[in-house]
Amino acid sequence: MSSGKHLKGIHVDHCKNTAGQAIIPMTLPEKVFIPMSQHIGAPCQPVVAVGDHVKVGQLIGDNAAPMCAPIHSSVSGEVVAIEKFMTSFGRVDTNVIIQVDGKQEIAETVKPPVVTDKASFLAAVRASGLVGLGGASFPTHIKYNPANPDAVDTLVVNGAECEPYITVDHMTMVAHAKEIVEGCKNIMKYLNLKKTIIGIESNKPDAIKAFNDILSGESDISVFELRQVYPQGAERVIIYECTGRHLIAGKLPADVGVIVSNCTTVLKLQEFLATGMPLVNKSLTVDGNIVAKPQNVEVPLGTKVHDVIEFCGGLTGEAGKILFGGPMMGKALPSDDFAVTKGNNAILCFDKDFAQQHEETACISCGRCVRGCPMNLMPAKLSRAYKHKDVELLNKYNVMSCMDCGCCAYSCPARKQLNFEIKQAKGLVMAANAAAKAKAEAKAAKEAAAKEGGNN
């Protein structure tokens, strides 16, 4: 299946060293450190106390705020501490620290939900603790309840996995195609969607075959074979490639009649509907040039990075950079003393030579950054506008359309950190917009007060 419509992108070294390696469960760590903020939106508040015995799947954190997903224990054991800590993003969060007892007793509350209509389905989605497992960590129950439900007709399942090194979604699709299809059918049924398109890059023929074998004779669920071009997994890109619908910056997929879900999110939802077990484990690719035994592993949420690396044989050299996620859009960690959360799909470790940042040279106006940008932006001009703090020019060049994919920096022969500068530029524009809004509101309030005074 092909729409014949394509956005630009780049060809990256895929480095899929763990392709073909089944996902294996990790041995239990001694402790887990479960953060209360694992999603976009309001952080959870602990609902357990130090000294409590908890079981697998037991609720340990929640918040009544709409934009929030509950958090459950990934292990059985004793809550030994509830502590504040600094996240890798420099924010303060709360850890529920559990001493693992090794029994992995299942909580009595773990039972299949009763789902009969859209309301009970959305309640089940929230109860599962699901967020976007492709990295965005947007609460799934919010995504599945758009403001314009009658205008939404299509589910796009994201199986692109276009980042170098990462293969867990690939192996998940090969092993669990049947369950993912069942999950798609449930989403379509309760959200009243007409069709599902499963987007998979062409370098995963076994996954494509696994779905096509199951979908023989199905008319409302189909596989879309994506080109092997980065960043196919980006939301705006995969929507356009699969449907031909153009999602502009600042809009939600529902605005073009689409809901996008990562393939593993759909799988975990189906598992919750069948068993009642909420999201407590996360599958990761562990790789990099100094990982002794690169592999795909399933780990309990809250497991420290150093424990995961140790399970994979440790490191063969000194780490120069450790990433959560892929090398294009992943986040660098200050150390290995951080815990795996719902949005993590990879741990990559590289030595200093491999991770070395090359010195920048002068721009030669080659245009490679423009040719690679899937949003048709002019990254070099955005960079210059940012350096001059020219908000008007940044808006003129549509800086807010950038989706931080890094194609520009990857393509640049001068080694310029274009994506970093553009990300800073977006922050500058947002700050300017907020200041302008505050000024306008203050002016309106002043005028209203003056008018009220005149009336008196």
Q: For 349-366, how does the pLDDT look when each residue is reduced to its tens digit (9 = 90+)? A: 999 999 888 889 999 999
pLDDT higher than 70, residue 127:
yes
The per-residue pLDDT for 135 is: 75
Q: Decide if 398 is inside a domain.
A: yes
Q: Decide if 374 is inside a domain.
A: yes
pLDDT higher than 90, residue 282:
yes
pTM of the model: 0.93
Task: Tell me what the mean pLDDT of segment 428-455 comes to.
Answer: 87
Q: Give the three-class secondary structure for 413.
A: coil
The answer to whether 186 and 269 are in contact (CB under 8 A) is: yes
The per-residue pLDDT for 5 is: 61
Q: Give the three-class secondary structure for 99.
A: strand
pLDDT higher than 60, residue 116:
yes
pLDDT tens for 129-173 read 999 998 778 999 999 999 999 999 999 999 999 999 999 999 999
pLDDT higher than 50, residue 1:
no
Q: Decide if 75 is inside a domain.
A: no
pLDDT tens for 46-83 read 999 999 999 999 999 999 998 999 999 999 999 999 99
* CA distance linking residue 294 with residue 219, whole number of Å: 39
pLDDT higher than 90, residue 88:
no
Q: Decide if 309 is inside a domain.
A: no
The per-residue pLDDT for 3 is: 46
Q: Decide if 290 is inside a domain.
A: no
3-state secondary structure string across 349-372? EECCCCCCCCCCCCCCCCCHHHHH
Query: How many structural domains is the chain composed of?
Result: 1
The answer to whether 411 and 8 are in contact (CB under 8 A) is: no
pLDDT higher than 70, residue 259:
yes
How far, in Å, are 290, 440, 441, 442 from residue 450 at the CA level?
Answer: 68, 15, 14, 12
Q: Decide if 128 is inside a domain.
A: no
Computed over every residue of the chain, the mean pLDDT equals: 94
Q: Decide if 408 is inside a domain.
A: yes
The per-residue pLDDT for 183 is: 98
Which residues are within 8 A (CB) of 142 and not within 5 positions of it... i.e. 6 or more apart? 41, 66, 67
Q: Decide if 142 is inside a domain.
A: no
Structural domain boundaries enclosing 405? 357-456
Which residues are within 8 A (CB) of 8 and not within 5 positions of it... i.e. 6 or more apart? 371, 372, 373, 374, 376
pLDDT higher than 90, residue 337:
yes
pLDDT higher than 90, residue 260:
yes
The helix (run of H) or strand (run of E) holding residue 432 is helix 418-455
